Structures are given as C-alpha cells and as structure tokens.
Structure 1
Amino acid sequence: MTAVLTTPHVDEQSELRQRTEPERSWQAVVWDDPVNLMSYVTHVFREYFGLPRAEAERLMLAVHNEGHAVVAEGMREQMELHVQAMHDYGLWATVRQAPQ
C-alpha cells in the first residue's frame, strides 16, 4: 500500500485579518522603604541605570517624597529584569502596566 500525500486547498481570495492592538508599556517602580539611605538609592540608580547624578537624585527624591518612582518603562520582560536587579540591590520594586 502506497501513501498518497496531498496538499490542502488554499483559497487565495481569502484575506487573513489579524487584529493587532498596540502593546501597552510596562513600568519598573521603586518604592520607598525604611531601610535604605537616600544616598544609596541614588548610587543604585546611577550605577545600574547609568543615570547622571541630577536624574538619579530626582528619582530618589520622588521615591522619598512621593513614596515611589517609575525608574524605567518598556517591554514587560525588560522591566522584570530591572525589578529583579533592584531587589538584588536591596530596594523594593514592582512591575506594573503603564497607564494608557
């Protein structure tokens, strides 16, 4: 017995429509904590993110005065890496979807 392979019929007139929604950005958020010094938080932002001193201090003051600061925004996987790095430095951090 011989197997016969056939190709399926493809309707070339049909159009595939793919609904694409723009991907929402994600944010890495650092939260205020009672443990880390402001100078240390500034140091972490400068060392890990490569920020200039003024930007690192601005973010640190937002963490201190407002309770949190968005330190990065982008693809979820990258934000998860940033949050893990912040945890490795001893900072409290989470990932959240950016508002639309």
Structure 2
Amino acid sequence: MEVLVMITTESSKTNALRMAKLLIQNKLAACVSIKQIFSIYEWDNDIEETKEFEITIKSKPEFKDDLIDFLNKISTYNVPQIIYKKYYSEMKYYDWINKTI
C-alpha cells in the first residue's frame, strides 16, 4: 500500500510548527515531522548558509496536488522546496493514515 512523503522547509521553528498544525487541522497530513537542518545553496548569485527546519509530511498519494497548492500558499519562501515520493508502507501504518485523514 502506498503513502506519500513530501518534504519542504521553513526558515524558523515558529513557521514550521504553524505549517505542521495547519496541515493536520486541514486533514492534508496524518503526521508531520520537523527537524532542524543546516543548508547551503545558491540564491541571487550568492552562496547562502542558513539554519532551516525540514518538514516531512506523511499523507495519501491522492492529496499530492492539494498539498503542493497549500504549501505554495503558506510557505514563507519565494521558491519553496517541495519534493515528494510515494513509498510502500506496512499495512498497519497505511490503515492508520487512511483512518486519520
């Protein structure tokens, strides 16, 4: 059984927590994990180094487009990182996701 795992980032813990709670409240995610990371990337011809918060969203594959729209609306970034993949899940976890959202 397939589940959707989508990853995005936010610039602060406050923004990440806000996003996670909205995803759960709007029934777009069954679970959201947040961890602090350190990112190095190019932006406007400069190399940036910054602390960020990685947000891992566990959801249903059929919610992919709704999640992308939602994240583009609420992200504080001009170009939010939105990457995703479908994974096979153990049946109990799959059932839990489907009962939760």
Provide TM-score, normalisation by structure 1.
0.47
Normalised TM-score (structure 2): 0.47
Which structure has the highest strand share of the two? 2
